[in-house]
Structure 1
Amino acid sequence: MTHRPRVAPLAIALAGSLLFAGCASTSPTQTSAAPRDDAASSQAATPVAAFFDRFTDDWMRRQPSASTGSRYFDGALQSEMDRQLTPQTAEFRRGTLALAERGIAELARFDRGAMRDVERVSAELMDWQLRSAVEGERYDDYNFPLQQFSGANVGLPNLMTVVHPVRSEEDARNYLARLGQFEARMDESTARARELAARDILLPRFILDATIAQMQQFIDGPANGNPLVATFAQRLESVDALDADARAALVAEATRTVQDGVYPAWSRAIAELRAQQPRATDDAGLWRFDDGAEVYAYHLRRFTSTGLGADEIHAIGLREVARIEAEMDTILRSLGRSDGSVESRVAQLRKDLAYSNDDTGRAAIMADIDTMMRDAERRADALFDIRPKTPVIAQPYPEYRWASAAASYTAPPLDGSRPGVYQMPLRPDRLTRFGLRTLVYHEAVPGHHFQIALSVENPDLPKFRQTRALGGISAFSEGWALYAERLAAEEGWYEGDPEGRLGQLDAELFRARRLVVDTGLHAMRWTRQQAIDYGIPASEVDRYVVMPGQATSYMIGQLEIIRLRDKARDALGERFDPRAFHNRVLLTGVVPLELLEREVDDFIAKASATG
C-alpha cells in the first residue's frame, strides 16, 4: 500500500504524505543513502535551500495530521502538532490555496541556472506540485469528503491506529487530545458533503451504500472494542513508564471520547449519507457531471504526469491486456490448465492456493508475507547497493477496513521512530498464496519501501521531498512499485515457481485492465457492472470511482521506467550497471516522469563520459 489517494490536490498533499500500505536487519553489504559531502552540506546556506525550508515549515504548520506521519518537526512543536487534526473547512482550503500561490511566486524569483543539480530538480518539482494544486482547486467539488476509500471516515482512524506514536505518556496524552477533535473534523466533513449534495454533486448510490455499511460497522460494537480504543490499549502496554492503573485511566478516557464524541459524529455522517441515497444514481463516472471531461483530463495529467488522454490510455491498456493474457495462457497450458478463459483458470488457481478463512489462515498469510519480505531483501543484494536502513513490517488492517481496503504501504517518519508498514486486508478474496509474492515485491521490497524509505533517509534532498510534504507523484511511486514486480520476474526470482510467475503476470494484467476500466468508467460511460465483468473486483472498481485517474498511474509509470532503463542499457552496453541505474532513479526521489527522463539522460551522459 495507495492514496495519494486522492481528487483534490490540496487534500492529496495531506494524505499523500501518510500512505502509500518481523523487522528487517541490515546486512554488512547494505547501505543507506550516502551522507552529504562538504559541498552538499553547504546547501542549507543557499538562498533557495533556505526558501525550501521556510516554505515547507509554513506548509506543514498547517498540516498537523501530515506532520505526525513524517515527524516533520522536533520537540515541543511536533508534540503540539500531535495534539491537533488538520481542519476540513472551506476557510482552511482557501488558506492552503493562498499559500500555494505565494510559494509559486516566491520560487519564480530564483535563478534556476545558478542552482546546483539537486536544487534545480527540487525547484522544478515544487513548482510542478504547487501549480498542480492551484489548478486542481477548480475541481475541489469532486473531492468527496466521506467515502469508503479515502474519506475522513477512513483517514482519521488510520492516522490514529497506524501513524500516531504511542511511546510515552506525552504521546498518549496527545492521542487523547487529538481523539477529542474527531467530532469536530467529522462534522466539518459531513457539512461539506451536505453542501455538495445541495448542488447535486452526489456520490453514486453504490458508493453511498458501501460507505454507510463501512461506517456503521465501525460504530456497531461497544466503544471499548472500537479500533481507536483497542489499538490504543494494546500499544500502551509497551509504555513502561505507565503502571497498570495509569494505562487503565487513559483507556477509560479514550472509551468515553469514542462513546460520547466519535460515535455520535459518525452517526450524523451516516444520517447525511442516507438522506442522499434517494437522490443518487448508479452512474459511476465523472462523465455524469457537466464538466466531467475537463475534471478527468486534469486527474489524468496529475496522476500520470504526462499529456496522455483517455483514448490513448485506453488503447495502451487494451494492447497490454492482449500481450499479458497470451503469455499467461502459455504458462497455464504448461501446468495442464487448458480449459476456459485465462480469467476462469486463474480464478480456480487462486482458490486452489487459498488459505483458510479463519484465524489460522489469517495468521498463516501474515507469517508468509514476513518470510517473503526477508527473502526479497536477500535477493535484492544483486540489484541494489544502496538500501534503506529503516526496516519494514507487515500487519493486517483492522477488520472494519477489510471490505474496501487495498494493500498499502505507510512511509516511515524522518526520525526513524517507526518502521515502514505494509498493511494487508484479510477478506476472503485476499486469503490466497496466488500473487502474494508479487504483492510483497510491490508494497515492500524492492517496491514502495525501497523507493519511499530511501527518500526519507536521503539527506541531500530538501525536507519537503524527504517527507512528501506537498504530496506524491503517483506515476513515479506506483510506476516504480510495478517496475519492481517486473524486475523480480526478469531476474529469475520466480525460477521453479510457475504459479508465482503467473501471479506476477496476473498483477500486471490487473494494472493493464485498470487502464481500460478507469478510462471506461470516467470517459466512455461504462457502468460499474461492465468494469466488474472486465475482470476487476467490485471493491477495486469502487476505488476508481472515488479516485478517478489514480489507477492509470501504475502501468503508465512502469512502462516509462522500463523504457528509460532500456534506453540507458542500449546506450551504455556492457557499461550499464543496474545498481547504478537504480541508485540514480531512487536517489533522484519522486519526480514527474518528464523530469525523470532528464535525470536518466544525465546519467547516461556521465556514464558514457567516464567509460
Structure 2
Amino acid sequence: MPPTRSRLLRAATGALFVLPVLGTALPASALAAPAAPAAAAATQAAQATQNAAFAAWADRFAEDWVRLNPQSATSTQYFSGSEQEALDRQLTPQTPAQRKKVVALAKTGVARLDTFLAGPLSEEQRTSAAVMRWSLANTVASEPYEDYSFVFNQFGGVQVGLVNFMTTTHPLRRAADVSSYLARLDQIGARMDEALARAQAATAKGLIPPRFILERAQFQVDKFLEPAAGQNVLVTTFAQRSEKLSDLAPEARDKAIADATRIVETKIRPAYRRVQAYLAALHPKTNDTAGISRLPNGAAAYQHALRTYTSTNLTAAEIHAIGLREVARIEGEMDRHLRTLGYTEGSVEQRMAKLDVTFQPKAEPDPRPELLRKYADMVADAERRSASIFNLTPRAPVEVRREPPLTEPSAAAHYTLPAPDGSRPGIFWVPMRGPTFDVIRMRSLSYHEAVPGHHFQLAIQQEQTGLPKFRAQRIFGGGSAHSEGWALYAERLAVEQGWYEGDVPGLLGALGSELFRARRLVVDTGLHTKGWTRQQAIDYGIGAQEVERYVAWPGQACAYMIGMLRIIDLREKAKKELGDKFSLPAFHDVVLKNGSVPLDVLGEVIDRWIVVQKAA
C-alpha cells in the first residue's frame, strides 16, 4: 500500500463518522489519524509562499510522465507544435520495458515529492504534491498486480482500446492529422503483438481469465475481423471523419483511404488473427470460476484493488457489510414508494420489474432514436436545474451518443472528456442493446454520466486555469472513489433537491440506481472473496454484463458508494461547522475546482475551506 493511502478517508473526530443523510457509518478501521490538526495545517499552508523549485520540477516531471504515454499526450493535447505532432504519430508501447520505465519514473517522483512535502509549499502546491504522490505511489504499488487484469478483457482490453482511441480520440482536424493517423495505424499490429506476448506471459504464470470473460473478448475479435479491410471500422470511420477536412484534396483523401485499407489488410488483420488463435487455444484451459481469488496470490491482488478504487483501508468483509446495510435501507424506501403506485405484492425486485414493463416503448418503429432524444432533453433539463446549486459550470458542451457496435454488446454507459482544443465535446455514451430498455432510470443515468455528474466534474477540471496543467488535464488524479463518488453524489443530489417531484416512477428509478450501487458492494466482494458464481451475482439483482464487468475489473464497482459516502460526510461536516455561513453552491465549487484528488486530500481541502469560511 502506498504510504499516502494510510491517511485516506480519515475521520474528523471519534471512532466513527456517521452519515445521517444515508444512515451509514464507515468503520474506524478504514480510517487513520490526520498528520496535523486541520486548522494548523490550513494556517501553515496559508502562510507558505509559492515554492518556485517545486513548481518548476512538477511541470518538468509531468511533461516527462506524459511523454511516456503518447496516447495520453494526444487525448490531453498536452504539448504544442512539433513535439505534440510527433507524439500524435505514436501509439504507447505495450512492452515490459515500457512498464519498467513507467515504474522507475514513478519511484523517482515519489522520492522527490517526499522532499518537497517536508518543506515549505503554498496551499495549492501542497495539494498538487499530495495528488502527484498518491498517483505515483499507486503506480509503484500496482506493479505486482498488473497482469491480474486480463490483457484482452472486454472493457478496456487492447483489442477494443486501440480501436476506440483511433476512431474517437485521435484528432482529425486538418490534413496533417491524416498522416499521423496512418502512422499510428501502421503501429497497431505491433502493439497487438506486444499485448499478445504480455497475455502469454500472464498465462504462463497461471493468470487465466474465466471462460465467459474470454468468450466476450473472442466475440469482439471475431466481430472486428468479420468485414473485409475496406469495410473495417478503422477505415470507414476514417473515411467519414476525413470527408469534413477542407484542406484535404479529394485525391489525397482517396490515397489515404487506400493506404488505410492496405494497412488493415496486411498488418492489423493478421495481428488480430494471431490474438484470435491465442484465445481459441486458451479456451479449453478456462473454467467459469469467477473471482480473482482463484488466481495465485489473488487475495492480496483484490485487497490492493480495493485500496486503489475506494481510497480506504476497508476490508472486503467491511465493504460487504456496508453493502448489505445500504441494500436494506434503500429497499425500505422503494417499498414505500411502490405501495403508493399500487405495487404491493412480491419483492422490490419483482415489483420494479412489473413497473419497468409499463414503460417499455413499442418495438416498431425502432425506439432508439427517440430514446436518444429523450436523453438529450434530460441533460438539457438538468443543466437548467443545476443553475441554482452550482456556480461553476463547464464551458464545453456535452452530447449524447449511442455506443459503437463493436463494444455495445458488453459496454456500460460512460462519459468521455471534451478535447481541450474544443474539437470534440464531452460525450455521454449510451449502449442501446435492446430489445428492452431501462426507461425509468434514464434520468438518474443522465445525472450520473453527464449533468451534474461526470461532465460537470471532468470538464470543469479541464477548464480550470488556476490549476497546474498536470492537474487540469488529470495527468495525476485521485482515483475512482473521487470521480465515481461525485457522479453518484450527483444522482443523490437530484433526489435531495426535489428534481423528481411529481415523478414517482423516476424517483423509483433513481432509488433503483442507488440500490444497484449498494448491491455492487455485496456482489463485488462476494465474487472475489466469498466464492460467488456468476449466476449467484445475477440472482442477487445485477445484470449479466455488469457482473462480467466486476469480474474483469475487480474492486472498481466499490468506488461509487464509498466515494459518495465520503463526499456527503464532508458536506454534513461543513454544514455543522459553518451553520448559516454554509453555502451549497460554494461547497460544490470547492469540490469541483480542485479536480480529481484522493479522498484524504479532498478532506484536507474541505477542512481548509471551512477555516477560511469561519474567518470570513
TM-score (norm 1): 0.90
Contact 2:478–2:598 (Cα < 8 Å) also in 1: no
Which residue among 237, 240, 246 is the counterpart of 2:246? 240
- Measured against aligned partners, the alpha-carbon deviations of 1:432-462 in whole angstroms (never above 9, x if no partner) come to 3221111111011100011111111112222
1:471 Cα offset (Å): 5.2
Contact 1:321–1:509 (Cα < 8 Å) also in 2: yes
Q: Does 1:56 align with 2:62?
A: yes
1: distance between equivalents of 2:82 and 2:568? Answer: 45
1:349 corresponding residue in structure 2: 355
Q: Residue type matched to 1:261 in 2?
A: K
The ranges of structure 1 where at least 4 consecutive aligned residues each deviate by more than 6 angstroms after the TM superposition are 42-45
1:315 Cα offset (Å): 0.4
1:553 Cα offset (Å): 0.2
- Measured against aligned partners, the alpha-carbon deviations of 1:92-118 in whole angstroms (never above 9, x if no partner) come to 101111111111122222255511111
2: distance between equivalents of 1:355 and 1:234? Answer: 31
1:43 Cα offset (Å): 9.4
1:114 corresponding residue in structure 2: 120
> Mapping of 1:504-515 within 5 angstroms?
504-515=510-521
1: distance between equivalents of 2:153 and 2:218? Answer: 8
1:290 corresponding residue in structure 2: 296
Q: Mean alpha-carbon deviation: is it higher for 235-244 or for 582-591?
A: 235-244
Q: Does 1:231 align with 2:237?
A: yes
1:195 corresponding residue in structure 2: 201
Q: Residue type matched to 1:91 in 2?
A: A
1:230 Cα offset (Å): 1.8
> Mapping of 1:268-417 within 5 angstroms?
268-356=274-362, 360-417=366-423
Identity of aligned residues (%): 50
Cα 1:187–1:436 change in 2 (3 A) is same
Local SS of the residue matching 2:439: coil
1:156 Cα offset (Å): 0.5
Contact 2:210–2:286 (Cα < 8 Å) also in 1: yes
Which residue among 198, 218, 225 is the counterpart of 1:212? 218
1:94 corresponding residue in structure 2: 100
> Mapping of 1:440-519 within 5 angstroms?
440-470=446-476, 472-519=478-525
1:32 corresponding residue in structure 2: none
1:222 Cα offset (Å): 2.4
Q: Does 1:582 align with 2:588?
A: yes
Which residue among 135, 149, 155 is the counterpart of 2:155? 149
1: distance between equivalents of 2:559 and 2:453? Answer: 15
Local SS of the residue matching 2:377: helix
Contact 1:69–1:412 (Cα < 8 Å) also in 2: no
Local SS of the residue matching 1:261: helix
1: distance between equivalents of 2:454 and 2:437? Answer: 22
1:564 Cα offset (Å): 1.0
Which residue among 269, 273, 280 is the counterpart of 1:267? 273
1:67 corresponding residue in structure 2: 73
1:431 Cα offset (Å): 3.0
Which residue among 535, 540, 550 is the counterpart of 1:534? 540
1: distance between equivalents of 2:419 and 2:340? Answer: 46
Cα 1:85–1:472 change in 2 (3 A) is farther
1:83 Cα offset (Å): 0.9
Cα 1:358–1:149 change in 2 (3 A) is farther
2: distance between equivalents of 1:250 and 1:432? Answer: 42
Q: Which has the higher contact order (CA 8 A, sep 6+)?
A: 1
1: distance between equivalents of 2:276 and 2:342? Answer: 50
Q: Residue type matched to 2:479 in 1?
A: I
1:574 Cα offset (Å): 2.2
Contact 2:50–2:125 (Cα < 8 Å) also in 1: no
2: distance between equivalents of 1:381 and 1:413? Answer: 24
Q: Residue type matched to 1:211 in 2?
A: A
Contact 1:183–1:261 (Cα < 8 Å) also in 2: yes
Contact 2:154–2:217 (Cα < 8 Å) also in 1: yes
Cα 1:196–1:529 change in 2 (3 A) is same
2:3 corresponding residue in structure 1: none
1: distance between equivalents of 2:277 and 2:484? Answer: 36
- Measured against aligned partners, the alpha-carbon deviations of 1:369-389 in whole angstroms (never above 9, x if no partner) come to 111111111110001111111
Cα 1:375–1:502 change in 2 (3 A) is same
Cα 1:360–1:420 change in 2 (3 A) is same
2:141 corresponding residue in structure 1: 135
Which residue among 414, 433, 445 is the counterpart of 1:439? 445
RMSD: 1.8
Contact 1:412–1:418 (Cα < 8 Å) also in 2: yes
Q: Mean alpha-carbon deviation: is it higher for 100-109 or for 49-58?
A: 100-109
1:582 Cα offset (Å): 0.4
1: distance between equivalents of 2:435 and 2:489? Answer: 25
- Measured against aligned partners, the alpha-carbon deviations of 1:112-140 in whole angstroms (never above 9, x if no partner) come to 55111110011011111111110110112
Cα 1:308–1:586 change in 2 (3 A) is same
2: distance between equivalents of 1:288 and 1:220? Answer: 34
| Structure 2: runs of 5+ lacking an equivalent | 1-45
Cα 1:358–1:520 change in 2 (3 A) is farther
TM-score (norm 2): 0.90
1: distance between equivalents of 2:405 and 2:364? Answer: 13
Q: Residue type matched to 1:415 in 2?
A: D
1:49 Cα offset (Å): 1.2
1:558 corresponding residue in structure 2: 564
- Measured against aligned partners, the alpha-carbon deviations of 1:219-261 in whole angstroms (never above 9, x if no partner) come to 2122233222222122112211224333332222222222222
Q: Mean alpha-carbon deviation: is it higher for 88-97 or for 111-120?
A: 111-120
1:13 corresponding residue in structure 2: none
Cα 1:144–1:116 change in 2 (3 A) is same
1:357 Cα offset (Å): 5.4
1:55 Cα offset (Å): 0.5
1: distance between equivalents of 2:182 and 2:351? Answer: 50
1:76 corresponding residue in structure 2: 82
2:5 corresponding residue in structure 1: none
- Tell me the matched-pair count: 570
Cα 1:431–1:259 change in 2 (3 A) is farther
Contact 2:206–2:295 (Cα < 8 Å) also in 1: no
1: distance between equivalents of 2:365 and 2:244? Answer: 24
Local SS of the residue matching 1:382: coil
1:589 Cα offset (Å): 1.5
2:24 corresponding residue in structure 1: none
2: distance between equivalents of 1:137 and 1:248? Answer: 45
Which residue among 192, 199, 204 is the counterpart of 1:186? 192
Cα 1:349–1:123 change in 2 (3 A) is same
2: distance between equivalents of 1:520 and 1:550? Answer: 14
Cα 1:48–1:592 change in 2 (3 A) is same
